[in-house]
A = this chain, B = another copy of it.
């Protein structure tokens, strides 16, 4: 009969308590009767009180032994359940991979990676959560999320990062906008344009980075309107109230009422990175990273 490592003294007692006979109990355990006697003696010595009263012909539980038995009869089974639960997690069988993404990864990078990952690991649930970059950083720090698609760069000693894409930025204009006469837009052409951008709550990190790009070129960022969601934003642009700026990854998803032109400048781009904690060496995280890195996606 297989014994649980480390719980053999308690397990021995539980069996003797049920049998009330050392020789029968020893038989059950494939052990010599004298070895069993010594195990019980060792347990009683370490506890400092008797669990069993015994003559050469009779074994009974003391009151303390009855209480100890009742309290611990389930100990073994609960320990085995804890082992099984941990094993399932270790095998990645019931684990959940928690992935957060922001808008720019939502159209292509994240869906392709998740689809491929599920093909390879059908038993792992992927829990997806839209989250702005700043919120992603908090969630990573608090171990609420395993892996994140965020706007980069992001350098921190506690995190691994991989750059997945560097997308050039495009202006999005209403139809019949003067920009449409050009094939590409110089950033200085934007100096006199009314811009419609997502508000800080919605765009956060991206707004900061746009500010940096315009400041670096000495171009004022004239924000005429702010919108709290993409549909409202595109609606305002198509109505002729201004233009907006989006990375290439979103261009195919903006509808038929607007036109786009690339911004011709190396610094005007948006980098999408994958981020996870250095301490999180979960096999599922490693697997997902490999899948995301090697997608057949144009760079």
Chain A residues in contact with chain B, CB under 8 A? 4-10, 42-43, 46-51, 53, 58, 60, 62-65, 67-68, 71-72, 75, 78-79, 81-83, 85-87, 89-91, 95, 279, 281-282
Contacts and interface: CB of A to CB of B under 8 A. Distances in A.
Copies in the complex: 2
Contacts of A78: 71, 75
Q: Taking each of A42, A43, A58, A82, which has the highest tally of chain B beta carbons within 10 Å of its own beta carbon?
A: A82
B9 A47 contact: no
Contacts of A64: 86-87, 89-90
7 contacts: A47-B87, A49-B86, A49-B91, A51-B86, A62-B90, A63-B95, A65-B86
A86 B60 contact: no
A46 B43 CA distance: 22
A85 B60 contact: no
B43 A6 contact: yes
A279 B83 CA distance: 37
Nearest to A20: B279
B7 A50 contact: no
Per DSSP, chain A at the interface is helix
Given A64-B87, A71-B82, A72-B79, 5 more contacts: A6-B9, A6-B43, A51-B86, A71-B85, A75-B82
A261 to B, nearest CB: 47
Contacts of A4: 46
Contact of A90 (B42, B50, B58, B279): B50
Contacts of A10: 6
Contacts of A95: 63
B282 A63 contact: yes
A71 to B, nearest CB: 3
B85 A67 contact: yes
A285 B42 CA distance: 27
A62 B6 contact: no
A172 B273 CA distance: 103
B281 A62 contact: yes
Contacts of A58: 279
A72 B91 CA distance: 19
B86 A67 contact: yes
Contacts of A81: 71
Given A64-B87, A90-B49, A75 B71 contact: no
Counting chain B CB atoms within 10 Å of each CB, the highest count among A5, A50, A75, A81 belongs to A5
Contacts of A47: 5, 83, 86-87
Nearest to A92: B63
B82 A63 contact: no
Contacts of A46: 4-5
